[in-house]
Structure formats: C-alpha cells, structure tokens
Amino acid sequence: MSIKRIGILTAGGDCPGLNAVVRAVSKNALTHGIEVFGFKNGFDGLVRNEFIRITNETVSGILTVGGTILGSSNIANPFKYTLAPFGTPENPRNLSDVVMHNFKENMLDALIAVGGDGTLHMAQKFVEMGMPIVAVPKTIDNDLSATDQTFGFDSALHIATEAIDRLHTTAQSHHRVMIVETMGRYAGWIALRSAIAGGGDIVLIPEIPYNDEVIVKYILNRKSKGKTFSIVVAAEGAQNEQGETSVARTVAGSTDAIRLGGIANKISNMIEEKTGIESRACVLGHTQRGGTPTAFDRWLSTLYGTKALDMVLEGKFGYMAAFRSFAMSEVKIADAISNLKRVNPHGAEVRAALEVGMSFGSREIG
C-alpha cells in the first residue's frame, strides 16, 4: 500500500529516549515524503484530535533531550476514558469509536504507538478494531518479554547506580544503613542490576520474597565483621513472604491503578527498630525517568524508530519492533503483551550476586 500520512504518539510514563524515537520515525518518514502527525499526550490526542505536524525543524536537536515533545499520559485510556469534559472516574466512557473516527478523518495510513504494557494493550484493541498500528516498546522497567531490552532502561539503571555510588560515602561516614528504593513495578531488573553495579549488600526484588529476620541477621553479621554500614536496594514492587507489597495509592482510570511505593521507609523503620542501627530511606522516584538518555538509549531508540517506519512501509501492522541479539526484528503485539519478563530467581544474574556476597533477604535464596 502507498503510505502518505502517519500518526505517532507517546503514551504511558515518560522515559529517556522517547524524543529520539520520535526523531528517528519522523526523519525516516519525511525522507520518504510521508507527512507525520504527532498526537499530543498519548491516546488523549486521538480522542481530542490534538496534534502537531512534524517537520525536520520540529525534531532538530531533540536526540539528547529527555521526556517527549509530544507529551504523554498514563490515564487517558480511550476504552475507559475518565478525563473532563468527556468522562469522569465515576463514569468512564468508551471513546474508542471517537479515536477511530479521528484516525480516518485525518486520512492517516498508519499509527505508530510508543509505550509500555498498558499502551500496547490499548494498541492491540485498536488493531482488532481494524486500525493499522505498529508499536514501539517503551518502559524503564524492561519487563516486556518479546524484546531483549526496552529503551529508557539503560538510562534509569545508570541513574540508580550513580545514586547507590553516592550513598556509599554518606552511609560509611555516619555508620548507617541506607535503603534505596528503585522503580520497576513487578520486575526487579533496575534494582538487581544497579545493586550489582553499585555494590549493594542486600537487594529486594518482586521475584524473590524477603523475610525481615534474614535482613536483620545479615546486617548484624556485617557489623560483627567490622562493616559499619550497609546498602539495601529495594525494588518498589518487592514483596515479603506473606505476599505483601507496599502501595502508596491508587489512581482511578489508569491502565494500572496501583501506585507502588513505600518499601524503603518500611524496611528502614524495621531495621532501625530491630538492630538499633540508624537507617535512612532514599526514594529515587521519577529521577529515574528524567534527564538526558545515555548513549546506549539514544542508539537503541534510533534503531527502534527507524525500524518502526520500515515496518509501516512493509505493511507489518499489528506488530511491535523488537530488539533481539543486537538486531532488530518484529513480533506480534498480542505476543509481546502476553507475558511480563521478570528476573529468574535461579538465573545467572542472581547467582552472580550471591557469589559476590549479596543477600536477597530470603530464606530460600541467599
């Protein structure tokens, strides 16, 4: 088919590398004489029909800039729309037909949807409604099983590792236990890899339930050996043996209403109470999403963006660009969202962490 006009949107949580993807898609498309409509704030732009026409000038200089020039939203779900004036959290509306109408009204030949698990689920629903969509996986959590790595993860990992590096000196100076809370939702990739790279002593991840007494025993054992401080890296989705996670709040209308958070303070209070050692919590939060993308993420985002436009030109709709074995490929969106990629409790990374003396706070695994 002849492609003359495409749309692109960035949805879900922002992350470093989004602008690099928008740039790569747009520059590739414009080279082929294709018009590019950038929809504002994820699928919300298609609901409200708000967009910008992207030119080479629009994307000039954005390769190194964090965030997204298009804006994003992780609550604008067209299938359960809760935003004024069209819907409310108490009365969500299905505005998917409005999205389909605006897509056709703008005479678009394809849509490139850049986002994580929630965005890809919405994209798949629109594919089933007949919209020609190509997806690009975006999440700092690195939890999509259909691709080896998502862009944004490397930047978030770099930020978390640097934070652990900096906390070592203050922990050592004051003989404290420092608990670093990372993002990652239900996957422990950021926590595990930053703990390994930053020399953490204990790492708590969702895939390996922790036990308070194991954590306490490990810290007291370090103290008995003359170690006057400890670093604990806790993924926001870490759970104890009773299956309890720390939930900060819930957000009505979001594709995933649960907002995790609070594990660092919980563990800090527990350690100080049971050991008498002064403890402090450090929540990295959205610092992991912000700022300049690493060189790797700029490179990876460019590969994703150019691949996505190539897939549009080849008519490979309903597919997601994937990065496997340092090469680009494609996989069905439906397959990409079928399973989360999580840390293997018996895999090489966990084994390596154990072999250098780290603990997972678990009675079963270290």
Q: So which residues are the catalytic ones?
A: 141
- Could you tell me which of 170, 162, 154 has the C-alpha nearest to residue 197? 162
Exposure string over 345-359, b if 16+ CB within 10 A, otherwise e: beeeebeebeeeebb
- Could you tell me which of 103, 108, 133 has the C-alpha nearest to residue 120? 133
**Local structure of 138: helix, strand or coil:** strand
**Local structure of 141: helix, strand or coil:** coil
**Local structure of 260: helix, strand or coil:** strand
- Could you tell me which of 227, 266, 240, 198 has the C-alpha nearest to residue 361? 240
Q: From start to end of the chain, where are the E strands? A: 5-10, 35-39, 51-54, 110-115, 133-137, 177-182, 202-204, 230-235, 247-250, 258-260, 279-283, 319-324, 327-332
- Tell me how crowded residue 168 is: count the other CB atoms within 10 A of its CB: 15
Distance CA(294)–CA(278), nearest Å, equals: 35
196 phi, psi to nearest 5 deg: -65, -45
Distance CA(51)–CA(183), nearest Å, equals: 31
